[in-house]
Amino acid sequence: MTHLKRFGLVLVGLLLLVFVVPRVVPVPDILANFGFHKVNQEANRELWASLPMQYSNTSVCNDCHQTEYTSWSGAGHRTVSCEACHSAASSHVAGGPPPQVDTSQVLCATCHDRLITRPVSFPQVDPVTHAGENKCVVCHNPHDPRQGLPPSLPHSLEGRENCQSCHNPAEPLDMVPPPVPHTLEGRSNCTDCHTPAGTTSKAIPAIPHSLEGRDNCLLCHNPSSIKPFPEDHAGRTSDTCRTCHKPVNK
């Protein structure tokens, strides 16, 4: 029975600590002043309601900045409010001066610094080794961060660490993946510029018909056809088409 008495005393002590002590201990000023306690709740509500509005809805930016808004709304930063970088804009919308934009590397690192807790698929870099002391906006358009940058890899790198074993301008095979459209001098590590898509990559489109009697893909898939090939496929032959794109009947 002794252990039951001890348990009962501990339980009573916990109940007193949780329900009684908070009622007799003085309320800290910080809780009362900032509305985190009911003792000053109404006055705090009135105080916050009386403060002037500083932030605007992102949609109002489109009224004057259509080009930037269009670029931003279709890119990876579309979930980031304009005011996250440009600061509060209510006064500017009312006719005041433009808000101060933060182009510091520190701001970008808030989201893109390499952290083990972030998903692998989320763009992460070590700012020092990636850019040194340069600002991110030197290379990245903040509205569309990947604009003008090398394309991402359309497949994972598992078992494909040596990119040049397939993508080699001098490869003698008849059917090879798309060749590298630039020299490899000083570019031994392809992933310095081309980031792997990993497990979230989209599958390469399959050919939706058989190839019987259709040996030359470019008879139908050319710039003047109904179904042209993408602009970045310029210079590729029918042989390279079938290296990546397989017909559905295979």
The whole-number average pLDDT for the span 40-58 is 83
Residue 228 and residue 221 in contact, taking contact as beta carbons nearer than 8 Å: yes
Does residue 148 come out as left (phi exceeding 0), alpha (psi in the -120 to 50 range) or beta?
left
Distance CA 141, CA 68 (A): 10
The whole-number average pLDDT for the span 81-99 is 90
Residue 120 in any domain: the answer is yes
The whole-number average pLDDT for the span 80-105 is 90
The band of 111, judged by pLDDT with boundaries at 50, 70 and 90, is very high
Residue 7 in any domain: the answer is no
Instruction: Give Cα separations from 38 to 26, 27, 142, 161 (angstroms).
Output: 13, 10, 43, 60
Domain boundary among 108, 138, 168: 138
Domain boundary among 115, 138, 161: 138
What pLDDT digit, counting tens, does each position of 64-82 carry? 999 999 999 999 899 999 9
Residue 201 has pLDDT above 50, yes or no: no
Residue 242 in any domain: the answer is yes
Residue 250 has pLDDT above 50, yes or no: no
When divided into structural domains, the chain yields a total of 2
Domain boundary among 138, 160, 190: 138
DSSP sequence for 137-175: GGTS-SSSTTTTSPPPBSS--TT---GGGTS-TT---SS
Average pLDDT, the chain: 78
Residue 237 in any domain: the answer is yes
Residue 121 in any domain: the answer is yes
Distance CA 97, CA 63 (A): 16
What pLDDT digit, counting tens, does each position of 169-192 carry? 555 555 566 777 676 666 667 776
Question: What is the per-residue pLDDT for 192?
Answer: 66
Task: State the pTM of this model.
Answer: 0.49
The whole-number average pLDDT for the span 226-237 is 69
Residue 101 in any domain: the answer is yes
Residue 41 in any domain: the answer is no
Q: Which domain holds residue 73?
A: 62-138
DSSP sequence for 56-109: --GGGGGGT-HHHHHHHHTSTTTTS-THHHH---HHHHTT-PPPPP---HHHHH
Q: How many CB atoms lie within 10 A of CB 75?
A: 16
Residue 47 in any domain: the answer is no
Residue 35 has pLDDT above 70, yes or no: no
